Structure 1
Amino acid sequence: MLDSVIHQEGASGVRIYLAQAKKKGEPYLIVVGTRQEKDGPKDLISTTDKQGVTTATYLVVRSDDKCPANCDKTSPYYHP
């Protein structure tokens, strides 16, 4: 997942957002590619023109994988 985001055309980094669908919903991660600009990294976001024609398309990934159900239990970062 991360590899696909970072290797898309124009990406020089990634940004990860913690999101929640509803007030009591389960949190999830949104991973977007970024490009470096003069005033700092900017998210790569798909765009359309005034006629609704797609002018740029970028991969944005949502991950619902949660730890500890999906953890590497041998990792030094694992603390259930």
Structure 2
Amino acid sequence: MPEQALSLERGAFFGSIISTLNHILVGDTIWLKRFAKYSIPLASLEYMKCIEYPKALEQVIYPHFDDLVQARYKMDSVIQ
């Protein structure tokens, strides 16, 4: 699907496909940043200290799909 099509309003809760995918990444970021504050530091969550806390659940952190894909791969590696 062309990147322009990913940004079109689709009537979904977060509007476009790219906004919905960003929302999922924002949710994962919020939860993992919470886990990273756990009193016993986990090396696997060290990366989360470098990530800015999202301002809103509907924040589009990565408006370009390629950037979003790279961020998603990194986040998935942290989760795994």
| TM-score class, shorter | under 0.3
Q: Which has the higher contact order (CA 8 A, sep 6+)?
A: 2
Structure in which a larger fraction of residues adopt strand? 1
Structure 1 length normalisation: TM-score?
0.24
Structure in which a larger fraction of residues adopt helix? 2
Task: Give 1 or 2 for the bigger CA radius of gyration.
Answer: 1
Structure 2 length normalisation: TM-score?
0.24
